[in-house]
Structure 1
Amino acid sequence: MSSATLKRILHRALYPKPDSTHSISLFTTVSSSPDPLVTDAVAILTHRRCKSRWSTLRSLTPPGFTPSQFSDIILRLRNNPHLSLHFFLFTRRNSLCSHDVDSYSTLTHILARSRLKSHARDVLRLALRLASDDDGEDRISKVFRSLIKSYNRCGSAPFVFDLLVKSCLDSKEINGALMVMRKLKSRGITLQISTRNALISEVSRRRDASTGYKLYRQVFGLDDVTSVDKIKPNVNTFNLMMVSFYRERKTEMVERIWREMDEEVGCVPNAYSYSLLMETYFARGMMIEAEKIWEKMRLKGVVYDVVAYNTMIGGLCSNLEVTKAKELYGEMGSREIESTSLTYDHLVRGYCKVKDVDSAMVVYREMKRKSFEAEGLTIESLVEELCDDNKDRAVEAAEIVKEAVRESEFLPSQKCYELLIKRLCVEGKMDRALSIQAEMVGRGFKPNQETYNAFIDGYGRAGDEDTSSLLAIEMAESLKLRAEEE
């Protein structure tokens, strides 16, 4: 008797087959001649303690398992998907199986049918990387065909193909995802609405909003009178399309999508939908229409959320209606809706636009007390207003910039530096202007004629004619050299 046969006999004695009352089978077909190695491996995995099962498996078969054997093993472990996953990771970690697309597909089905979706997507991504086109077949088609082939054997669920589409999108394989969608449609398999939305969103983002809109009508069969698809677009479908068109400044399409949502599909908009429409009207300067939408939300009982408030506050501030915006800010507090950094950014910039820098600074200090970081545009708006001709607050502006650079990695623009330097020179703060100029040069910005003139005039007013004259000479030489370089 060979040592291998003896080892199998010993294993069968030590690890008998599980009692039939505890085993659940989804299939009526059983292999007439099971592989002894598969049987032994299943017995070890199901009856050995965790600490010893892995070392015992290594000693059982030093050469490892074939992909087919691996698939047979995890099929018999299909009611314990976590154990199947651990076994898979064990074989990879110890190089005990040269996995192929079919073994990956089997594991994907087992994980998917147990709703371990994130793990299933991870395995699918591995399958997509492994698949090659040596036989002329596209790698995504190969994975798809393997999933189809093993679908019934594994007792899988249709959403496993949604996971494949999403895995394609994760890998930026838009064409592959669309191909899978079409092949599924030809087989009468429909994708979940979240998958369709993900497809539309990715196509809109990577191509353009119009292409995404065409895909939307296709995947929901809106232009196909023979379509029997029972899944209808939801509010998220319309929101993502409105966002895509808004980003491309195609505001008329945002309105069209809004009408289709209501009139063609009968979908009820949510607070975010209303916010998108208000943002569209504000972008076109249509204040009255935006305020009507705000009131419509109130009449329909749509609860205002922080996005809606920020949209309205931002729109009012951009159209110089800062008093109304501040009233809405107060209303947020009374409703216990926490403001965000964007709320304060809108208000600070709004006050700067109406030349009320004192109120802007009050809001900015409150923003800092709440540990919010201001956007770069907000900082530069404050600098511009503090450096206004009628105010001597350039040092205060310089401190704001210094603090923002230190705390939030704010990168001032050349215009911001030039404003500070010119105003500091006007106020006679020459040393501070020089330090700002040194920082500006250190960031790669070259002083222009206006900067030189600011220093020349500043030193002249301070009575330092020698420095002023030297700077005039340096400016002439610098401008001449720059002209030659250009």
Structure 2
Amino acid sequence: MSSAILKRILQKPKPDSNISITLLHTTTVSSPPSDPLISSTVSILTHHRSKSRWSTLKSLNPTGFTSSQFSEITLHLRNNPHLSLHFFLFTRRYSLCLHDLASYSTLIHILARSRLKSHARDVIRLALRLEETERVSKVFRSLIKSYNRCGSAPFVFDLLVKSCLDSKEIDGAVMVMRKLKSKGIDLQISTCNALISEVSKRRGASYGYNLYREVFCLDDVIAKVKPNVNTYNLMMVSFYREGDTEMVERIWREMECSPNAYSYSVLMETYCARGMMSEAGKIWEEMKLKGVGYDVVAYNTMIGGLCSNLEVSKAKELVREMGLKGIECTSLTYEHLVNGYCKVGDVDSGMVVYRDMKRKGFEVEGLTVEVLVEGLCNSEKRRAVEAVEIVKEGYEFYPSRKCYELLIKKLCEEGKMERALNIQAEMVGKGFKPSQETYKAFIDGYGTVGDEETSALLAIEMTESLKLREEDES
């Protein structure tokens, strides 16, 4: 935020649309307190030992302090912000002050000017909870009113915006940004990015994009604050998540700063998701030409794209290249390879990668386990039992109905009826009722092993079960 704020006369607070802002960067000099209680309290806080000061204060003034008295005391402690915070917590713990926005604001300014950002944000969140309606507007006005008296720092408003985002006060955060901007005051770039990111997540990428253009005055000839690479990255990611690849490319073209490795990775992922591997390859080569080093994210992006598009041999070459450069593979690297091998029907290589992954202590995502299970079950080597063992190995892995039904079907086809029954019992225990496909698998399975009686009984049970289900649904 700019530190050169034009001098304006602070007017009496008006409705939000007409808030007048005066931020004079002066160092306030406190005159000696005229109130004996304030003078005594400041003396006790600054000169007594920590063990005795609190008990002494309670004895001095058992009825507590008014909000204005607290503010005066805190102002005299502004060069010792930690002591100011302890005094605030002391008054709250023993209900010695009925705090209002004025007292909260004084403490917020003192914490902000001393760069105690996390503590300042905690107090801002308390202040926001103090009001039931128009809470952000009221806290904003209170901070403006007390700004000069406390000799505050401009980024106190950045802390307000970020605290609003923490409290899901999106509209309030946008309002503060607009009020400041209308007076020629800009938020810090990190705050702008946080605001755009949160709005994009909660309101959609298009809403975030419009705000991005507003925040950085992109429709004006001259803008004081420019978006940085993180701004462009978060906008590209936002549109990518919504599947709007054209907007990802548009943001890329609008980028006025040098893209970093993550920028390239987002664009490559966009092309990979559309199966445009030649375009992704061009971006990969551009990184090399521009001297942008490949990091693990870039490698994983290309490896995942190649595996998804059945180019597993090229993906394996990139894995080898990672090793030669000393870049450690992540669990995602291995999962891409497992998925790739299973897609091309090479489940044996997928199992080798899976075992290597487990040996190195990586946990496998549920979707990858299911892909491996499907590959084993559909193998010509009748490997359903092996697939069951893979499922049992999965830490906190919860198979889907589809996974259970596939295991049961393949076990029944292989005549492993007892194992199939165990899987079916586990499936029911997880809340999945037997479907028509499950019954048919058991009926065919028992028929295959020569148990025609059980097969016939299950056929009758299936008919009755489906009839009852239809009645329940009607």
Write the deviation string for residues 381-433 of structure 1: whole angstroms up to 9, x where unpaired.
111110115121100100111221xx2x2111111111111111111111000
In the alignment, which of 264, 286, 300 is matched to residue 296 of structure 1? Answer: 286
The worse-fitting range, judged by mean Cα deviation, of 93-102 and 33-42 is: 33-42
Q: Which amino acid aligns with 1:475?
A: M
**Unaligned segments of structure 1, at least 5 residues:** 1-24
What's 2:159 paired with? 163
Task: Confirm whether residue 243 of structure 1 aligns to residue 230 of structure 2.
Answer: no
Task: Confirm whether residue 361 of structure 1 aligns to residue 351 of structure 2.
Answer: yes
Write the deviation string for residues 191-219 of structure 1: whole angstroms up to 9, x where unpaired.
10111111111111111111111111111
- C-alpha displacement of 1:471: 1.2
What's 1:394 paired with? 384
Aligned equivalents of 1:189 and 1:468: distance in 2?
78
What's 2:254 paired with? 260
- How many residue pairs are counted as aligned between the two chains? 448
In the alignment, which of 342, 346, 352 is matched to residue 352 of structure 1? Answer: 342
Q: Which amino acid aligns with 1:198?
A: A
What's 2:198 paired with? 202
Write the deviation string for residues 431-462 of structure 1: whole angstroms up to 9, x where unpaired.
00000011111222222222222212221221
SS at match of 1:290: helix
SS at match of 2:258: coil
What's 1:17 paired with? none
1:466-481 equivalent positions in 2, closer than 5 A: 466-481=453-468
- C-alpha displacement of 1:54: 0.7
Q: Which amino acid aligns with 2:309?
A: N
Aligned equivalents of 2:344 and 2:30: distance in 1?
79
TM-score (norm 2): 0.92
TM-score (norm 1): 0.90
- C-alpha displacement of 1:314: 0.4
What's 1:233 paired with? 227
Q: Which amino acid aligns with 1:437?
A: Q
Tell me if the contact between 1:158 and 1:189 (Cα under 8 Å) persists in the aligned partners.
no
What's 1:11 paired with? none
What's 1:333 paired with? 323
Aligned equivalents of 1:428 and 1:399: distance in 2?
17
Aligned equivalents of 2:170 and 2:238: distance in 1?
17
Tell me if the contact between 2:377 and 2:410 (Cα under 8 Å) persists in the aligned partners.
yes
Tell me if the contact between 2:30 and 2:76 (Cα under 8 Å) persists in the aligned partners.
no
- C-alpha displacement of 1:28: 4.3
In the alignment, which of 219, 223, 239 is matched to residue 215 of structure 2? Answer: 219
What's 1:176 paired with? 172
Write the deviation string for residues 269-303 of structure 1: whole angstroms up to 9, x where unpaired.
00000000000001111110001111111111111
**Unaligned segments of structure 2, at least 5 residues:** 1-25
1:105-124 equivalent positions in 2, closer than 5 A: 105-124=105-124
What's 1:385 paired with? 375
Identical counterparts, % of pairs: 78
Aligned equivalents of 1:448 and 1:96: distance in 2?
65
1:56-95 equivalent positions in 2, closer than 5 A: 56-95=56-95
What's 2:427 paired with? 440
What's 1:52 paired with? 52
In the alignment, which of 267, 270, 274 is matched to residue 280 of structure 1? Answer: 270
